[in-house]
């Protein structure tokens, strides 16, 4: 029986740690300038979403528009289906969030010590959820909105405290959610498109590694292998939710995604072996 890929000997693990590039200034600059496919389009679509959020907030007179814009920037996804799912889930969370905020306001109203204790506990709880659970994309934003609503109650008249705080918390999530649903469906690509781009990128990188294995390509290939095929598998699931693609085509693309990762791993191993043998030949010639 073939051992699992995760059961690597200690020597192999130590070798992988040595091959992993260090985080130097040159590597940081290379990551900034990394020409990943779809990166520019994703940035432009995210900027358009934040701009639309600010425009809607100006029309509805939402205070502190930086908070809804920050929520949009943090939750904006690459494909239209994930964007819509995240926005719908966000608007469902609003109902529970409003009841939670109302209870906290009633508890901490005119009690500064309780307000400090509740804010500290909420900050710890949401940061814990963001670092140790699958709620990482939304935990920080929910914590920010709830804590902001509790702090903002000191800035409005006493008779409007509860109403204003709940309204602000509602708008801080409702506006980004509506923008993500409407604008995301119009300008974001299909998850199937992102899936095919991911497969193409790995195959092209494999060819480049076999032709000219320079350090930049080795670094990029290592980064892609570290992410594995999880993002492409998520694109497959989202593409199935669209109900407009053939199940056979999606099954073939799923197999192609797994195969592209395997081909990239083999190409990276071959490129490293070629560079090592070339380095030995150069060393012998110098001697």
Structure confidence at residue 35 as a pLDDT band (50, 70, 90): low
pTM of the shown model: 0.75
pLDDT exceeds cutoff 70 at 5: no
CB–CB of 108/150 below 8 Å?
Answer: yes
20: how many CB neighbours lie within 10 A of its CB? 12
d(CA 193, CA 196) in angstroms, rounded, equals 5
Structure tokens at 104: 């906290």
CB–CB of 234/134 below 8 Å?
Answer: no
Could you tell me the residue ranges of all domains in the chain?
40-187, 190-286
3 state SS of 231: helix
**pLDDT per residue as tens digits for the range 254-279:** 999 999 999 999 999 998 887 776 55
First to last CA, the chain: 45
Distances (CA, A) of 132 to 128, 160, 234: 6, 37, 20
Least reliable range by pLDDT among 77-86, 108-117, 127-136, 224-233: 127-136
Q: What is the DSSP code (8-state) at residue 147?
A: H
**pLDDT per residue as tens digits for the range 150-207:** 776 655 555 566 677 677 777 888 899 999 999 999 999 999 999 999 999 999 999 9
Cα angle 52, 58, 62 (rounded to 5 degrees) comes to 105
pLDDT at 13: 47
């Amino acid at each position: 029986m073939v051992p699992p890929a995760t059961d690597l000997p200690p020597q192999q693990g130590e070798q992988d740690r040595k091959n992993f590039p260090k985080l130097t200034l040159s590597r940081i600059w290379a990551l900034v300038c990394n020409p990943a496919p779809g990166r520019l389009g994703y940035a432009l679509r995210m900027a358009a979403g934040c701009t639309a959020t600010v425009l809607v907030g100006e029309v509805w007179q939402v205070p502190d528009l930086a908070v809804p814009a920050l929520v949009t920037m943090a939750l904006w996804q690459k494909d239209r289906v994930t964007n819509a799912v995240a926005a719908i889930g966000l608007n469902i969370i609003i109902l529970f969030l409003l009841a939670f905020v109302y209870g906290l306001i009633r508890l901490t109203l005119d009690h500064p010590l309780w307000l400090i204790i509740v804010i500290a506990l909420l900050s710890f709880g949401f940061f814990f959820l963001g670092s140790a659970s699958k709620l990482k994309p939304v935990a920080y934003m929910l914590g920010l909105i709830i804590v902001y609503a509790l702090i903002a109650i000191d800035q409005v008249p006493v008779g409007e405290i509860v109403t204003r705080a709940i309204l602000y918390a509602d708008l801080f999530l409702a506006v980004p959610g509506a923008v993500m649903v409407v604008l995301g469906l119009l300008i974001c690509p299909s998850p199937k498109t992102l899936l095919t781009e991911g497969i193409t990128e790995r195959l092209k990188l494999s060819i480049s590694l076999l032709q000219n294995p320079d350090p930049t390509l080795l670094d990029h290939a290592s980064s892609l292998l570290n992410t594995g095929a999880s993002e492409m598998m998520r694109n497959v699931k989202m593409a199935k939710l669209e109900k407009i693609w053939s199940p056979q085509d999606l099954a073939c693309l799923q197999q192609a995604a797994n195969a592209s990762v395997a081909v990239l791993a083999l190409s990276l191993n071959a490129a490293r072996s070629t560079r090592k043998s070339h380095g030995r030949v150069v060393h012998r010639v110098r001697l």
